[in-house]
Amino acid sequence: MELHVVINGRKDLAEQLYQQLRAAIDCGRLAAGAQLPPSRLLAEQLGISRKTVSDTYALLTYENYLIGKIGRGTFVTPRPVKTERKQGAQDLACAQSLARWQALPAPLRHPTLEGTLRYEFIGGATTRAQFPQEEWRRCTQDALRRMAQSGGFYSQPEGLPALRSAIAGHVAFSRGVVCSDQDIVVCNGAQQALDLIARVVLEPGSLVAMEDPGYTPARLLFSAQGAQVLGIPVDDEGIQVALIPDGVRLIYVTPSHQFPLGMPMSQARREALLERARELGAIVIEDDYDSEFRYEGRPTDSLQSLDNRGVVAYVGTFSKNMLAQLRLGYAVLPPAILAAVIKAKQLSDCHTPTLTQWALAKFINDGCLQKHIRRCHTVYAGRRERILLRLQGDLAPWLEAVPCTAGFHMAALCKVPVNIPLLLELAKKVEVGLYSLHHFFHDSPGRDGLFIGFGAIETLDIDPALDKVRDLLRQIA
């Protein structure tokens, strides 16, 4: 890699080189410890004599900007970086827009490895201990071989045909989704799928209806695109369809495992929602994020499988049933918006990385995904059962579980007044990560309670963690 130095003309060559190297070190562009090219190589790059480069290196070494190490080369020495004041946000014409973005909260943001607590009940996270590393490594090696045989061109924005075909088979088998590979767009996680659909459906001022309480990152995403988001209350059958007003363009729901409370949407409510969407000419986003893990009762059909008018965009993710770090999701789109979403995907990021696409296609086709889901189902079922027993036992004076049959999080509502912010703060001090339900409410009155994820916490850690929670509740409730 060439060092960026520009020599103009044939005069003062040593001075030009000296000033540029010194300025690069002063501003930090050449960081402490960075190795400079050998004098012969840099001279060839710049078209100047080697002596000019050697003399400049010697002068900068004398001034303690550089240090020569015998047998290794020339390196930048550590020194304070000189910085000049740059434009602040308030100095820019876009200051108001920047302030609006900076004011957005960061809900459900996962902690860094250094900031992870001993007992973590965060939602949407899985433990790496359950992930089949060897199978995934084998699939990744196969993907590398396939990429080595390719022509080095950009891939299709909608995703590799092999992965789209594998996803179509998987969602048809596991969720009853009616689709072909031509209906699918591969995305960088479900969040990008939501973003792409919103880009082509919404305009500034458009009305969006979504469950309340609901998935806060989706609400913030729609609001950031200029939409007016209306929170529609939920009851034990799901979103109250009769309260969706006229003029709505987009309806966002989680019918199989309502986020964050957990109950499924009833059949009657699903049919009413589809009819209301048809009346409005609205697109329904069905976010089916973790319903492959079901513990009680008969499986429910996806909302998309009931849609015979082409109004449902089915969004799925592999972050929940595999690893969040993979950032792989997909959307099964109705014909009316498919071409527009593919154009938006191409303009947004061209395409999702093909290495992970090839690996995931093989992972699915070889049956590894279904085996992994079955293994995780057994583990999650045990964790869920353990938490429910505690909520029905020594935690029952304060908390009551909301009935849910799928996923790997649950909600627990307060039965008596509890200072939830204080509970969360005290829990952190004893290495327990707890999360409040209150942040998921938008227009509806918030309810006090806990959002309890059990994907990341190990089974043997649940009882010690809940012992600490019980002791804290005794202190503050």
Assign residue 430 the CATH number of its domain: 3.90.1150.10
Mark whether 259 and 327 lie in a shared domain. yes
289 and 354 within one domain? yes
The pLDDT score that the predictor gives to residue 296 is 81
Do 361 and 423 share a domain, yes or no? no
Q: Is 7 inside any structural domain?
A: no
What does the pLDDT look like over 429-459, one tens digit per residue?
Answer: 999 999 999 989 998 888 999 999 999 899 9
Confidence of residue 293 (pLDDT cuts 50, 70, 90): confident
pLDDT for the residue 12:
86
Specify which residues 184 forms β-bridges with: 332
pLDDT tier at 182, thresholds 50, 70, 90: very high
- Residue 8: pLDDT above 80? yes
Give residue-wise pLDDT tens across range 192-213: 999 999 999 999 999 999 999 9
213 preceded by cis ω (within 30°)? yes
Mean local confidence (pLDDT), 162-182: 95
164 and 139 share a domain?
Answer: yes
Examine residue 91 and state whether it is found in any structural domain, yes or no. Answer: no
Q: Are residues 314 and 422 in the same domain?
A: no
Rounded to two decimals, what is the model's pTM?
Answer: 0.87
Whole-number pLDDT of residue 127: 77
Supply 176's token pair.
């009853």
Residues 404 and 357 in one domain: no
Percent of all residues in the chain with a pLDDT value above 90, rounded to a whole number: 75
Give the separation between CA 16 and CA 11, rounded to whole angstroms.
9
Q: What is the secondary structure of 61-121 as a DSSP string? A: HHTTSEEEETTTEEEEPP-PPP--PPPPGGGSTTHHHHHHHHTS--TTPPPPTTT--SEE-
Which of 319, 346, 366 finishes a domain? 366
Whether 123 shows a pLDDT value over 90: the answer reads no
Tell me: do 140 and 193 sit in the same domain. Answer: yes
Instruction: Kindly state whether residues 297 and 386 are assigned to the same domain.
Output: no
Q: Where are the beta strands (DSSP E) in 207-275?
A: 207-212, 228-235, 238-239, 248-253
Mean pLDDT over residues 84-108, rounded? 83
The pLDDT, as a whole number, for residue 114 is 62
- Cα separation, 57 vs 39, in Å, equals 8
Residue 109: pLDDT band by 50, 70, 90 thresholds? confident
- State the CATH number of the domain containing residue 270: 3.40.640.10
Across 32-38, average pLDDT = 93
Residue 113 in this model has a pLDDT that exceeds 70:
no
Question: What is the token pair recorded at 213?
Answer: 């309480």
Q: How many separate domains does the chain show? A: 3
In the predicted model, what is the mean pLDDT of residues 458-466?
Answer: 96
Looking at residues 240-266, what average pLDDT do you find? 96
| pLDDT, mean of residues 409-431 | 95
Same-domain status, 167 and 307: yes
Q: Is residue 94 part of a domain?
A: no
* Average pLDDT value for residue range 240-255: 98
Mean pLDDT of the chain: 92
Q: Is 205 left (phi over 0), alpha (psi -120 to 50) or beta?
A: left
d(C-alpha 46, C-alpha 20), whole Å: 13
Quick one: 225 exposed, middle or buried, by C-beta within 10 A (0-12, 13-18, 19+)? middle
Task: Return the structure tokens found at 457.
Answer: 């916490």
Residue among 150, 156, 147 nearest 346 (CA): 156
pLDDT in tens, 218-245: 999 999 999 999 999 999 999 999 999 9
CA-to-CA distance for 279 and 248, rounded, in angstroms?
A: 10
Cβ proximity of 65 and 76 under 8 Å: yes
420: which residues sit within 8 A by CB, 6+ positions away? 414, 436, 438, 448, 449, 450
CA 395 from centre of chain: 32
Phi/psi for 294 (5° steps) reads -120, 140
The CATH number of the domain holding residue 34 is 1.10.10.10
- Spell out a b/e string for 50-59, using b for 16 or more CB atoms within 10 Å of the CB, else e: eebbbebbeb
User: Could you tell me the residue range of the domain that residue 203 belongs to?
Assistant: 131-366
CA gap 229, 250 in Å, rounded: 9
Task: Say if residue 395 is in the same domain as residue 324.
Answer: no
Domain-ending residue, one of 366, 388, 403: 366
Shared-domain flag, residues 210 and 337: yes
Using the predicted structure, report yes or no on whether residue 327 has a pLDDT greater than 70: yes
Which helix or strand (DSSP H or E) is residue 392 part of? Answer: none
Tell me whether the omega of the peptide bond preceding residue 260 falls within 30 degrees of 0, making it cis.
Answer: yes
Per-residue pLDDT at 4: 87
Confidence of residue 475 (pLDDT cuts 50, 70, 90): very high
Checking DSSP bridges between strand 329-332 and strand 399-401, what pairing results, if any? unpaired
Evaluate whether 16 touches 59 at the Cβ level (below 8 Å).
no
Residue 83 lies in a domain: no
For residues 423 and 313, what is the distance between their CA atoms, to the nearest angstrom? Answer: 39
Does one domain contain both 123 and 140? no
| Residue 113 domain-assigned (yes or no) | no
Q: Which string of DSSP letters, residue by residue, matches 261-321?
A: T-PPPPHHHHHHHHHHHHHHTPEEEEE-SSTT-B-SSPPPPPTGGG-SSS-EEEEEESTTT
Domain presence at residue 135: yes
**Residue 390 amino acid letter:** R
State how far the alpha carbon of 52 is from the alpha carbons of 13, 16, 19, 74, 110, in Å: 7, 10, 13, 15, 52
pLDDT at 21 > cutoff 90: yes
Per-residue pLDDT band at 100 (split at 50, 70, 90): confident
**DSSP helix/strand/coil, 414:** strand
Give the residue from 41, 59, 76 where a domain finishes.
76
pLDDT at 106 over 80: no
Under the banding of pLDDT at 50, 70 and 90, the label for residue 83 is low
pLDDT digits (tens, 9 = 90+) for 396-408: 999 999 988 888 8
Quick check: 84 pLDDT over 80? no
